[in-house]
Amino acid sequence: MKKVEAILRPEDFEKVKNALKQMGFVALTAYPVKGRGVQGGVPSYDMLSKMKLEIVVKDEDLEKVVEIIIRNARKGVPGDGKIFIIPVNDAIRVRTGERGNDALY
Ligand SMILES: Nc1ncnc2c1ncn2[C@@H]1O[C@H](COP(=O)(O)OP(=O)(O)OP(=O)(O)O)[C@@H](O)[C@H]1O
Ligand SMILES: [Mg+2]
């Protein structure tokens, strides 16, 4: 399993979220964050408002999910966002006790 952490423009998040759902990736976590990329924000706002999306996926779905995020967030300009991929040891669905891939979706 992998955790995909995507830091996106708030205004792009809705489109990404809807596209993920349409492709069968319903479960996710998202929250507002502040951040800066290599440009260091803009002079009067060092830290820009972003949305952070976290979605834990099966290894076999990783590239598909990354592609959905990129396709829906890329404008080809600075600030399009950043994606980090992190290995996940295990997942547990509290209701059933299912573990690993079975607990994801
Ligand atoms: N190395 C990093 N570590 C942690 N967070 C990062 C890192 N790089 C970017 N971020 C986060 O991602 C957000 C979006 O980054 P951004 O899209 O501006 O990336 P970038 O590397 O500056 O690329 P670009 O040149 O396309 O703007 C930042 O506001 C910050 O929250
Ligand atoms: Mg940037």
- The per-residue pLDDT for 45 is 80
The atom number, within ligand 1, closest to the CA of 34 reads 31
- The per-residue pLDDT for 27 is 97
Range of the domain at 77: 2-103
Predicted structure pTM score: 0.95
Q: Specify the CATH number for the domain of residue 51.
A: 3.30.70.120
Q: Report the C-alpha gap between 73 and 56 in whole angstroms.
A: 19
In percent, the amount of the chain with pLDDT more than 90 equals 91
Q: What mean pLDDT is predicted for residues 7-29? A: 98
Ligand 1 pocket by C-beta < 6 Å: which residues? 7, 35-39, 48, 50, 78-82
The atom number, within ligand 1, closest to the CA of 37 reads 22
**37 CA distance to ligand 1 centroid (A)?**
3
Task: Summarize pLDDT for 35-72 with one digit per residue, the tens.
Answer: 999 988 777 788 999 999 999 999 999 999 999 999 99
Q: Report the C-alpha gap between 30 and 18 in whole angstroms.
A: 13
Query: Domain count of the chain?
Result: 1
Per-residue b or e along 20-30, where b marks 16 or more CB atoms closer than 10 Å to that residue's CB: beeeebeebeb
